[in-house]
Amino acid sequence: MSEDLRFPIGKFTWPAEVSAADRERHIDEIASTPARLRAAVEGLSPEQLATPYRPGGWTITQVVHHLPDSHINSYVRFRLALTETEPTITPYDEAAWAQLADASAPVETSLRLLECLHERWVMVLRSLTEAQWKRRFIHPALGPVTLENNLALYAWHGAHHIAHITELRRREGW
């Protein structure tokens, strides 16, 4: 684990190459993210859920709600790249999304949403051909992103935010 509370599993690095075995591992990580997130928040009190994972950081509740927000965007980006020729995607302001009214919903709402979303997303991921993994979308800030690289990013993303919660629990003795 990293000493930097913002990046408990380290910063993401774009892979130079992604093998079929890497893709399978990443898909398995994405498939297990909802259960790992549910386990990370299991038994937490409302006060604990309202605790920031680091000074100046989001609360655990905001982190839980952020995961389906972000992963919905990624799922749509996959679908766009699979059905259009190098579509330019629209980024979203994650900090602004974290301030919307639904960010105060019970965490169970986002846990269920993430479970259903990942069920569908993994169906798509497991169906892709070698050629489809090379398809790309254009991110206005990052440029072209292949689906296999986006897969690696989102496998990391789920683990990154789950570690925010589990590391806070470890530090606090929860």
pLDDT in tens, 128-170: 999 999 999 999 999 999 999 999 999 999 999 999 999 999 9
Q: What is the pTM of this model?
A: 0.95
CATH at residue 117: 1.20.120.450
Does residue 15 fall inside a structural domain? Answer: no
Does residue 81 fall inside a structural domain? Answer: yes
Give start and end residues of each alpha helix (H) in 44-146.
Answer: 46-49, 60-83, 94-97, 107-127, 130-133
Q: Greatest CA separation found in the chain?
A: 50
Does residue 5 fall inside a structural domain? Answer: no
In this predicted model, what pLDDT tens digit does every residue of 20-66 receive, in sequence order?
999 999 999 999 999 999 999 999 999 999 999 999 999 999 999 99
Residues facing 146 on adjacent strands: 136
Q: What is the number of domains present in the chain?
A: 1
**Token code pair at residue 117:** 């979303």
Report d(CA 40, CA 150) in Å as an integer.
24
**Token code pair at residue 68:** 């389906």
- Please answer whether residues 121 and 71 qualify as being in contact, where contact means their C-beta atoms are separated by less than 8 angstroms: yes
Identify the domain containing residue 158 by its residue range.
20-172
Smallest CA-to-CA distance from 94 within 62, 116, 140, 117 is with 62
Report d(CA 102, CA 118) in Å as an integer.
20
